[in-house]
């Protein structure tokens, strides 16, 4: 076999044949077909563009993104950054993008956790647990997401009013105004602590990398967790204490007809998050299950025969192999969740689609509005794909 490939005759490139201008030459046909297809597409696009220009002139709609600097005048209930209706359309759209990211990022994290738990539950030896997980997955996946969102929103709106709010735990209220949680009054020290925690996580990561490299050299196991605890928990606490250790609890309380204070999760956001997380978790559960099943039984047995502890088997043997199967389909689920968050417009959560839609209705800039929506989603999709491809390449099997 290797003899055959080593034979110099097989490495010769085929002789270059001059192009004959006849239909029987493959290359001529290829050029003709491509010219034809490109020509048709260019003609259609040109026709559409001309129609559009004409229609815009007739309707007196100015093209361009100049409207972004005009005053928006549209109220937005939920905003992470400061916003008022007197701000520009550009700022309103940025608020929309941030709202989309808020639901997408938290949704992805929660859906991954819930989906993994259900996927493992489906493989449980306990018949009842695996059956319940199976029914959950089947029901959730066979109902349209939009229906589920409307259902959750209706359920949340059917909750009692603030005066009769449900109070499962002290300080937590659930009513038709949403979910209220106790919180602290946010001050500079808290921001400092949060930043310190991020720094701590990065430092821990670097530290564990160095320790792993040393372990690879001399085979001695080294403890990472004491330093990790110090960096991730100790550092933020120290920063917080240095900045005066402010702590004022902010517990929601009923004032008149509504609640004051506390951390408010609006019914719109809550319904969207619950709907997206339960829907996507059904798909993630199946991916996780397939991933774990893809690792052969022999791998478990071989690892056990080597005397490894069950935790080590899972962490060092099974998970790395299962992740290779899990990550690519998981990427598309993350993308789906992000794109599905656009259904927010149906229940009144003001994400980018909702705000861009209002913008294009107010200004009549249909083309620009839809171009903005598409550009935002394309860039979010592209970033998720790039990150997941990088992660996938990191965990991929190193082959010869």
Residues that bind another protein (rule: CB under 8 A) add up to a total of 51
Residue 37 interacting with another protein (CB under 8 A): yes
With CA atoms as reference, report the closest residue to 184 among 240, 239, 244, 248: 248
Q: Which residues pair with 204 in a beta bridge?
A: none
Among 151, 263, 300, 391, binds another protein (CB under 8 A): 151
Among 382, 386, 395, 396, binds another protein (CB under 8 A): 382
In angstroms, the CA 353 to CA 330 distance is: 24
Q: Report CA 284 to chain centroid distance, whole Å.
A: 13
Instruction: Please name the residue ranges forming H helices in the chain.
Output: 2-6, 8-11, 26-59, 89-122, 127-141, 145-157, 188-218, 225-229, 235-242, 267-294, 297-305, 310-312, 319-340, 344-347, 352-363, 366-395
Q: Which is nearer to another protein, 159 or 230 (CB)?
A: 159
Residue 222 interacting with another protein (CB under 8 A): no
CB of 237 to another protein, least distance (A): 35
CB of 325 to another protein, least distance (A): 15
Q: Report CA 153 to chain centroid distance, whole Å.
A: 22
Cβ burial of 345 (10 Å; 0-12, 13-18, 19+) is middle
Among 7, 52, 77, 386, binds another protein (CB under 8 A): 52
Q: How many CA atoms lie within 13 A of 255 on its CB side?
A: 7
Q: Show contacts with another protein in window 326-345 (CB under 8 A).
A: 339-340, 342-343, 345
Q: Which residues pair with 249 in a beta bridge?
A: 184
Among 74, 101, 129, 308, binds another protein (CB under 8 A): 129
Residue 155 interacting with another protein (CB under 8 A): yes
For 223-246, b/e burial (b = at least 16 CB within 10 A) is: eeeebbeebbeebbeebbeeeeee
In angstroms, the CA 183 to CA 371 distance is: 39
Among 7, 20, 46, 54, binds another protein (CB under 8 A): 54
Query: 80 and 99 in contact (C-beta within 8 Å)?
Result: yes
Residue 214 interacting with another protein (CB under 8 A): no
CB of 353 to another protein, least distance (A): 6
Among 7, 20, 30, 312, binds another protein (CB under 8 A): 30
In angstroms, the CA 196 to CA 234 distance is: 9
Q: Which is nearer to another protein, 33 or 247 (CB)?
A: 33
With CA atoms as reference, report the closest residue to 341 among 73, 89, 103: 103
Residue 150 interacting with another protein (CB under 8 A): yes
Q: Show contacts with another protein in window 58-117 (CB under 8 A).
A: 58
Residue 386 interacting with another protein (CB under 8 A): no
Among 69, 154, 258, 383, binds another protein (CB under 8 A): 154
Q: Which is nearer to another protein, 20 or 339 (CB)?
A: 339
CB of 103 to another protein, least distance (A): 13
Q: Show contacts with another protein in window 263-292 (CB under 8 A).
A: none
Per-residue binder mask for another protein (CB under 8 A), 346-365, x = binder: x------x---x--x-----
Alpha-carbon distances, residue 120 vs 40, 110, 348 (angstroms): 52, 16, 35
In angstroms, the CA 296 to CA 285 distance is: 19
CB of 223 to another protein, least distance (A): 30
The interface region with another protein, picked from 12-20, 153-161, 200-208, 292-300 by CB under 8 A, is: 153-161
Q: Report CA 196 to chain centroid distance, whole Å.
A: 25
Among 56, 106, 243, 308, binds another protein (CB under 8 A): 56
Residue 123 interacting with another protein (CB under 8 A): no
Among 366, 386, 395, 396, binds another protein (CB under 8 A): 366
Rg of the chain over Cα atoms, rounded to whole angstroms, equals 29
For 181, phi then psi, to 5°, come to -125, 150
Which positions touch another protein (CB under 8 A)?
30, 33-34, 37-38, 41, 48, 51-52, 54-56, 58, 125-129, 132, 138-139, 141-147, 150-151, 154-155, 158, 339-340, 342-343, 345-346, 353, 357, 360, 366-367, 370, 373-374, 377-378, 381-382
């Amino acid at each position: 076999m290797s003899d055959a490939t080593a034979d110099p005759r097989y490495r010769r490139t085929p002789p270059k044949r001059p192009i004959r201008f006849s239909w029987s030459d493959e290359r001529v046909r290829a050029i003709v077909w491509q010219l034809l297809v490109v020509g048709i597409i260019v003609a259609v696009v040109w026709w559409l563009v001309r129609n559009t220009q004409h229609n815009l002139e007739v309707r007196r709609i100015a093209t361009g993104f100049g409207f972004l600097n005009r005053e928006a005048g549209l109220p937005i209930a939920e905003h992470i950054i400061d916003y008022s209706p007197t701000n520009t359309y550009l700022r309103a759209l940025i608020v929309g993008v941030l709202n989309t990211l808020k639901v997408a990022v938290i949704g992805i994290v929660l859906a991954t956790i819930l989906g993994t738990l259900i996927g493992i539950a489906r493989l449980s030896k306990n018949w009842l647990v695996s059956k319940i997980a199976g029914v959950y997955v089947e029901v959730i996946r066979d109902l349209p997401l939009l229906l589920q969102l409307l259902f959750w929103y209706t359920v949340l709106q059917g909750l009692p009013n603030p005066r009769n709010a449900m109070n499962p735990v002290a300080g937590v209220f659930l009513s038709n105004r949403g979910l209220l949680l106790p919180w602290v009054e946010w001050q500079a020290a808290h921001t400092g602590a949060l930043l310190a925690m991020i720094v701590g996580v990065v430092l821990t990561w670097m530290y564990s990398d160095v320790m792993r490299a040393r372990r690879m050299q001399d085979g001695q196991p080294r403890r990472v967790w004491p330093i990790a605890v110090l960096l991730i928990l100790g550092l933020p606490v120290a920063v917080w204490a240095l900045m005066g250790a402010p702590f004022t609890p902010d517990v929601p309380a009923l004032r008149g007809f509504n609640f004051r204070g506390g951390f408010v999760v609006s019914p719109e956001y809550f319904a969207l998050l619950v709907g997206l997380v339960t829907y996507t978790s059904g798909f993630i559960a199946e991916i996780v299950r397939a991933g774990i099943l893809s690792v052969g039984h022999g791998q478990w047995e071989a690892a056990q025969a080597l005397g490894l502890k069950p935790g080590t088997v899972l962490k060092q043997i099974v998970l790395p192999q299962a992740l290779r199967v899990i990550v690519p389909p998981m990427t598309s689920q993350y993308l789906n969740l992000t794109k599905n968050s656009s259904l927010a417009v149906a229940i009144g959560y003001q994400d980018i689609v909702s705000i861009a839609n209002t913008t294009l209705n107010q200004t009549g800039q249909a083309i620009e509005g839809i171009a903005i929506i598409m550009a935002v989603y394309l860039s979010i999709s592209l970033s998720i794909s790039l990150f997941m491809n990088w992660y996938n390449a990191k965990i991929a099997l190193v082959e010869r």
